[in-house]
A = this chain, B = another copy of it.
Amino acid sequence: MTSRAEAADMPYDGETKTPDRLRRRASRLLSQMSAQADRLMNEGLAQVDARKWHYAVLASLQEFGPGSQATLSRRTGIYRSDMVGVLNELAERGLVERAPDPDDRRRNVITITAQGRRHLRRLDKVLDDLHEELLAPLTPAERDQFVQQLTRLLDHHTQQAPHPPIP
């Protein structure tokens, strides 16, 4: 069981090879895969004039109905300071409507438009395709497993999280 391969008769290549202890680190794999996934999504979404956050907000609106910006922030995990810009973009494109809430004049009520719903359907399709590409090397069973493990990890670190409860 030679795990790290007696370099003895291997074409030793200290020029390009990454040490095993490095390649194996989950944190490293995660950040690299995350970068890769981000690149993929951004490219794909750019082709339909959209961004990751657009999808998050539209999906949340579709699923749970209208809400204030702070509500959307909680639902999507986007900081409310960043939500401003996202909603500007969505409103510019006519995908959502931002109207003052008569019941609470601090708030804006955000509503998805018909066009927004249409756009969301498109984004869903685009993202499905992109994820197909992203997860191509995994079998369907492995994909489920992978997603489920990621979910468990994430839940564990965000439950009684000492850190980021989306301020």
A residues whose Cβ falls under 8 Å from a Cβ of B:
4, 14-41, 52, 55-56, 59-60, 62-65, 67, 71, 74-77, 124, 127, 130-131, 134-138, 142-143, 145-147, 149-158, 163-164
Contact = CB atoms under 8 A, between A and B. Distances in A.
Given A15-B67, A26-B146, A152-B137, A157 B36 contact: yes
14 contacts: A4-B64, A14-B71, A15-B67, A16-B75, A21-B63, A21-B124, A26-B146, A26-B147, A26-B150, A30-B33, A39-B164, A137-B152, A138-B152, A146-B146
Contacts of A130: 27
Given A33-B34, A67-B14, A156-B137, A76 B22 contact: yes
A33 B150 contact: yes
Contact of A33 (B17, B59, B154): B154
**What's the number of copies of this chain in the assembled complex?**
2
Given A14-B71, A134-B153, 8 more contacts: A17-B75, A19-B75, A22-B56, A26-B147, A30-B37, A36-B157, A135-B153, A138-B152
